[in-house]
Structure 1
Amino acid sequence: MRRLVRRLYAQARLSDPAYRFLFDEPPHGEVVAIDCETTGLDPHVDEIIAIAAIRIRDDRILTSERFQAIARTSRKSSPEAIKVHQLLDRDIEQGRPIGELVPELLRFIGPRPVVGYYTAFDKSMISKYTKAYLGIPLPNEAIDISGMYYDLRYGHDWGHLTIDLSFRKIAHDLEIPMLPQHDAFNDALMTAMMYLQLRDMARRGVRIAA
């Protein structure tokens, strides 16, 4: 109910009616896996420098239906962030203005739920721009693979002293091949593979063994 109220409120505050499609019913069986690389970890001040999104339809990952771009930013990456995403300032300078990318990204995502690893962060980064351009945060439903993994690995066993929800641990337990990490497309692709496997296990009632 609270989510419905938030959506209705966002729909009423949408400043550009051309984006009402964000509130349509999503195509049946479709979600979008997303990943953002950023200049840092604070959505209030940091910026997106690379983003990738891949559509998933039923049980298929549609790598031919993808969005992938590097964004030109006004804020330089922190040294710690550069170690993670490996994008230098000169690489980012060749990117496109974020004001061009966000409308394309929104049209690609449409009303589909977005799937990610700690999706709240990616969604908050995208929402930073949708608030500026449309007056609202990204309204799409968010699905988090770390939460899905937690439910299947730890959710019914409170005896664990340590809980590991790292991307690498999830990939290892699901036997997902590790592509070079912190590349937006690779991370979105691995996220898509994790999502399909976790969803299938949940449907069949299969738990992840300790």
Structure 2
Amino acid sequence: MSLFTWLRPRQINEHIRQRAAQLAPAATLSEDSLRSQRWVVLDLETSGLNTQRDQVLSIGAVVIEDGAIDFSQQFERTLYQRDHKLTSSVLIHGLGPSAIAAGCDPAEALLDLMTFIGNSPVLAFHAPFDQRMLSRALKDHLGYRLQHPFFDVAELAPLLNPQITLREAGLDDWTACFGLEAIERHNASADAMVTAELALILFSQARRQHLDSPAQLDQHLQRWRRRKQQNHGF
């Protein structure tokens, strides 16, 4: 693929663009209880870690509602990527050429995902990466601007557990800390599920710390970030 082709804006089907325009707008963060909020827990598997060039290969998502994981609301898609090249990342996510070739049309998969998310806030582990990758994919394939709030479970865990010091602070480390175990790692659906289990533990801790709404949790998280920046001299 030439540099010119890579830089040229993708042509978006008008039917796809119209469907994207009908998606529910993101809701503002609620003052209601954490338990009453519908959350979507998201995980992406990608071709690499470059948010400008790498591609979303698979999406897994699950819903937390009424204070529990709703197993009737789960989302899983593998995306067909025409220009996908096999890299060493296949050793992590296991999505080889045959799996990608059999995947869904990316635009349709992304429309389905955003319909599934609705106006709910999104949870993810290392959320900024998933947010940037998803935002770029939505812009490229749908001409859609992602505005949903994302909460990073990798931040919520140390925020709510300042007494715990982990040498590493990845998903495996926090799940092991609370006695959780993923059925399969680096599988989008399995990672979304174990992230949801971890989030439920953290929400329980948040309520005990009198942080019982998405808005309160977000405000507390922003103050925590500012303190970290000050402590590191930024």
TM range (shorter): 0.7 to 0.9
3-state DSSP class of the match of 1:56? strand
Cross-structure match for 1:187: 191
Residue 22 of structure 1 pairs with residue 25 of structure 2 = yes
- The alpha-carbon deviation at position 183 of structure 1 amounts to 0.7
Contact 2:154 2:169 in 1 (8 A): yes
Matches of 1:58 and 1:73, distance apart in 2: 36
Segments of structure 1 that go 5 or more residues without pairing to the other structure are 1-13
- The alpha-carbon deviation at position 199 of structure 1 amounts to 1.1
Higher mean C-alpha deviation, range 98-107 or range 174-183: 174-183
Structure 2 matches for 1:7-18, cutoff 5 A?
A: 17-18=21-22
Higher mean C-alpha deviation, range 27-36 or range 180-189: 27-36
**1:150 is aligned with what amino acid?**
P
**2:161 is aligned with what amino acid?**
R
**1:60 is aligned with what amino acid?**
A
Structure 2 matches for 1:156-195, cutoff 5 A?
A: 163-195=167-199
Structure having the larger proportion of residues in strand: 1
Contact 2:47 2:57 in 1 (8 A): yes
Contact 1:47 1:75 in 2 (8 A): no
> Looking at CA atoms only, which structure, 1 or 2, has the larger radius of gyration?
2
Structure 2 matches for 1:9-88, cutoff 5 A?
A: 17-19=21-23, 21-24=24-27, 28-88=36-96
User: CA deviation digits over 1:64-123, x for unaligned, max 9?
Assistant: 111111101134355331111011111110101101111111100011001010011111
Structure 2 matches for 1:192-203, cutoff 5 A?
A: 192-203=196-207
Matches of 1:23 and 1:140, distance apart in 2: 5
User: CA deviation digits over 1:139-174, x for unaligned, max 9?
Assistant: 1110111101111333x78xx6x7521111100111
Give the TM-score taking structure 2 as reference length: 0.73
Matches of 1:107 and 1:119, distance apart in 2: 20
Matches of 1:78 and 1:40, distance apart in 2: 10
**1:81 is aligned with what amino acid?**
S
- How many residues are matched? 188
Matches of 2:158 and 2:28, distance apart in 1: 28
Cross-structure match for 2:125: 117
**2:26 is aligned with what amino acid?**
F
**Seq. identity, %:** 24
Cross-structure match for 1:140: 148
**2:38 is aligned with what amino acid?**
E
RMSD (CA atoms): 2.5
Matches of 2:207 and 2:86, distance apart in 1: 42
**1:42 is aligned with what amino acid?**
N
Distance verdict in 2 for CA 1:58–1:96, change over 3 Å: same
Matches of 1:134 and 1:92, distance apart in 2: 20
Contact 2:64 2:196 in 1 (8 A): yes
